[in-house]
Chains A and B, each alone.
Chain A
């Protein structure tokens, strides 16, 4: 019992001391620190980070030479995000880079002072990260990537003009995926396409739900969805088993076994983020007055190998377009 009172006394004393000893100003560092926080690993996010590092390098910032990059990955565990965000803030990062919406939110909640650059958030204003996409007003700015949903849907139709039913699968807990799924439904209605929706709550559901979906549709669409991106092999395996194509929103997922898409190049997204970060480090730009930069232009990506495997007819115009302006996987 005495031990308990002692502990309480120590804690209160400590709090008292800490209260009066306000934390000192930001320590000026010779080597600015760039803190990167991401939710999980999957090819698209990893590409963004790769691009980010190269974007910084193009502007003259090299990890270990004139900056330190602290890369934190929550490995899919949301509760880690807060801990890691606090760590980056408390270690006096100069600029922070957030990849995925939850990671960016964790960073934004941890500091209102340190500049935060969003790596790829579809709708920053909607996610509560900025007051206004044109004039963010706070310490957050960045790049917004909205997949060109309309063009993607038109592409699917070009590949499969006789398809009766299309299916779209998304993770209900992923706000970017949900935003895009709603867009897909909207355009499908406009184009008079029959698009059926399937949702999963976590990667464990993917196997069963995708099998169910594949038994009811002729082709599958996948929006920008972190969970499915991390479990793409399961979807591809099931789709291949019944010989049906998958049209994902992102180039990296096409490489993993999808057929084709107009995708925002994830690597280039990262490069933009890196450049913006560099501008902030140089003092050229300030988050509050830097409008969100939209990357909407999709590059054509074609997985010729997969198309051939499925016996799918590839529209010649698209193949030429991909060979000239995008990427073809043979």
Chain B
């Protein structure tokens, strides 16, 4: 059915959000709220650029850069300003709302009639919803491979160590502050990129697009972990994408069962809560064999 293809396509596009958050949430152990601001920021930058004549590709890359800036702001507030991390993220997120309005000039910009990454002749020739599937797959494969490579380098190892044991990392000469800033930049860059792709797929950017994105990102990560058990780090990155797709399929199933789209927030929360309670439920009811959560090696 068409709707399943659509869900897969959406799952692929939104997986970038999960990948970005994975870097900060799971590897660096930081709860980054900036994400809810970075996502619409990426959308705003991309859509404004496109309506001002930039090529869709340039606009999308600009969005990535804008995301990186937002991540850096949060990072500096935390490392240099010594503001507690959660608050630093919230501050940046709140500020980006006004920034987005400034960038777009109004609350909502439509892309109807504009060139986007989805408006090319190849994209429009595909069966319905396959455009998001194809573009999503290309982007996810490239980004996942890049992340796997990154984490396997010496720098990547110091990145993992920073999140795993910052005291030890510092005693080994790792500049944890700088590493955290870089991590936030890459992570939010990916989120901005996601915003740009989703906006082009939706056909518009809206200042309120960011609401609820943290939950969507968390859902991808958590569902990916719960569904697939023990995995190496590289495999976990793939699991995030699968988690994102499964999440969309769950929402689709819920809608087909007759629930209204208005119930989606409640359903998402319930699904996430159940997933996260699985270890506890397993202890009580012995449902499945226990699984190991976190970062594991590549060998």
Contact = CB atoms under 8 A, between A and B. Distances in A.
A11 B264 contact: no
A79 B110 contact: no
B33 interface: no
Contacts of B108: 101-102, 105, 173, 175
B208 interface: yes
Contact of A86 (B6, B101, B262): B6
Given A14-B4, A74-B262, A83-B261, A105 B211 contact: no
Contacts of B209: 78-79
A47 interface: no
B112 A18 contact: no
Interface stretch (A2-10, A58-66, A261-269, A316-324): A2-10
Instruction: Report the interface size class on chain B.
Output: 35 or more
A117 B238 CA distance: 43
B160 interface: no
A178 B230 CA distance: 53
A241 interface: no
A174 B238 CA distance: 39
Contacts of A174: 107
Contacts of A102: 108, 204, 206
A174 B245 CA distance: 32
Contact of A11 (B8, B114, B235): B8
Interface in A78-133: 78-80, 82-84, 86-87, 90, 101-102, 105-106, 108-109, 127-129, 131
A108 B261 contact: no
Interface stretch (B76-84, B125-133, B275-283): B125-133
Interface string B223-256: 0000111110001001100100110000100010
Contact of A23 (B2, B8, B101, B245): B2
Most buried by B among A14, A18, A73: A18
Nearest to B114: A128
A15 interface: yes
A106 to B, nearest CB: 8
Contacts of B111: 128
Most buried by A among B106, B108, B227, B238: B108
B203 interface: yes
A75 B262 contact: yes
Contacts of A77: 211, 261-262, 265
Contact of B239 (A4, A127, A171): A4
A173 B127 contact: no
Contacts of B202: 82, 106, 109
A26 to B, nearest CB: 12
A105 B231 contact: no
Contacts of B255: 83, 87
Contact of B101 (A15, A172, A175): A172
B127 A23 contact: yes
Given A23-B2, A79-B212, A128 B113 contact: yes
B161 interface: no
A178 B133 CA distance: 36
B204 A105 contact: yes
Contacts of A108: 112, 203
Contacts of B22: none
A1 interface: yes
A18 B229 contact: no
Contacts of A101: 108
Given A22-B127, A178-B106, A3 B227 contact: yes
Contacts of A82: 202
B264 A15 contact: no
Contacts of B238: 4, 8
B159 interface: no
B127 A129 contact: no
A4 B235 contact: yes
A201 interface: yes
A11 B113 contact: no
B206 A78 contact: yes
A23 B242 contact: no
Contacts of A86: 3, 6
Contacts of A202: 208
Nearest to A127: B110
Which 6 A-B pairs have CB atoms at the shortest separation, nearest pair first?
A173-B107, A128-B110, A109-B203, A128-B112, A80-B261, A83-B261
6 contacts: A1-B228, A1-B230, A4-B239, A77-B265, A86-B3, A172-B101
Interface of A: 1, 3-4, 7-8, 11, 14-15, 18-19, 22-23, 72-75, 77-80, 82-84, 86-87, 90, 101-102, 105-106, 108-109, 127-129, 131, 171-175, 178, 201-202
Interface of B: 1-6, 8, 97-98, 101, 106-108, 110-114, 127-128, 130, 133, 202-204, 206-209, 211-212, 227-231, 235, 238-239, 242, 245-246, 251, 255, 260-262, 264-265
